[in-house]
Structure 1
Amino acid sequence: MKRIDWVYDEKQCEWKITPYNEFCTPEKTYRQIYVELYHTFYLEIRRGIPENFSKEEFVRRIIPQNMSKEQWMLIYGQLKAAINNIYSEHEFGIHKGKINIYPVHINTYDYLCLNAIKIYFEQNNFKPIAEACAKAADHCFAPYKNQLGTYFRNAYYILEMTSEFTSPLKYSNIFRAQLSKYELVLLFFNSFSSLSTIETRRLYLNADLFNNLELKDVRLKEGINDESVSRRMEYIHFPPVLFQKANKNEYMSSDLLEKLYNVILPENNIL
């Protein structure tokens, strides 16, 4: 596949895709899809906010009642504008018609998405997260079926084979050790896609395949200056959403993964 770059236009407050007349190596292909998943996953989280919160409730959770004029100008005014955009876009999708969108920096939306994810965790409401994973995977993987289909099938058959060994975790750990972060993220999102199966998710769980995948790598926690993704993850204007320390890494546990899998549509569910 040919290489592309995502470049954020801060004046227009939008992403622009720059194509190149250059083919990617397999590893660069995985990284390119990894970046697309980052963008698309948060877009789906953002679209799901109006379906899970009334506008009044979401504003109440994000915007404090008392603040200084400086705080409103620097932080909360932008957040309120972004919230208005999110709900206006949702209403347009339902009823059509004219809407006014106020341009805000993408970090503002990322901040709101992280807050939404934090609230879902607090409520033990994993369905919006799993649905966003599924939609992002289906959207991003569709153009790359030829490149990824064989890779996903190989991973499946390797884990299926190791599951029959006397010490399956010993061998599945060897397999996982060969995978880059990009490959793990692709396998993680693929497990939610419409092309995944009951047995695929069961194999991933039994192998504890994602136990060293950091939550920030699948955008469930705040990233810390991750240049390999883009400047999109650098929270310059806002404080850390989840109040985590910079040196604290949180990983995808089998318990969390099982909760996410258990809310996938019943016809695709596994457990």
Structure 2
Amino acid sequence: MAETKVAPQGEKWTSMRHTLLFMTDEKRRPRPAAQYGPIAKAVAENVERIRKARGMTIYSLSGELDKVGRPIAPSAIAKIERQQRQVPVDDLVALAVVLNTSPAALLLPSVWGDVPVELTSERQVAARTAWRWIRGLSPASDYGVIPSEIVVGPDDDSWEDELDRKYWQMRQDYDAVTLPPELRRVRQHPASRDVDAANLQVERLVRMVGGKAGDEAFEDQLSRARSAVDRLATELERLPEERERIKADRARRQAQAEGSDG
């Protein structure tokens, strides 16, 4: 008589191959919940905020995503907004396209100024720094200075503060690997640098219009903004001369090349 085999407790035999399956606690244990960092939280809040601002339901948003070739079910959108579903980068871009916004607007909290923004659980910067960083304008570091305080470039004779010099060095390193070569060349031009400086100073001045700064501080900032704009105007006046010089150099090189060919 054949021996009858009984599967041990917690195990069972398959009817086909008598393969032992271990139904252990380890296999039945649910997967750990996804770890959501500060940026994932911002994405969840921003998707919901902007969707509602557009007057869209999760169903209409899902339909629009399907039209751009990145379908996300309404239930998945609801999970995104409840921080129960991670957002792959392709989904993030599709959401930005359909919501008619920038991926940056989904990634960062909707705050500004000196409000701290967590980029990781161990790294935070001022909101103005975070927004400049994500727009490709400057590194993700306050470096002891507020970017809106910067009024001149690193080659200016009055640039004596070592922290500011360190910031500009970091800025150059950032541009070197962040920007396409042509855009990097444009950004490194003195006129572009002056545009950035003028923008920062005017931005700060406008904030002071409705702020609590005293009259003396406001007048001082107004003077800074005017100086930055004046430097920009001076640099713009030099551009026609620079253009003619480049054209002359190009024509000379072309003539030399044609002469050597002949």
Fold match by TM threshold 0.5: no
What TM-score comes out, normalization by structure 1 length? 0.27
Compare CA radii of gyration and give the structure with the larger one.
2
What TM-score comes out, normalization by structure 2 length? 0.28
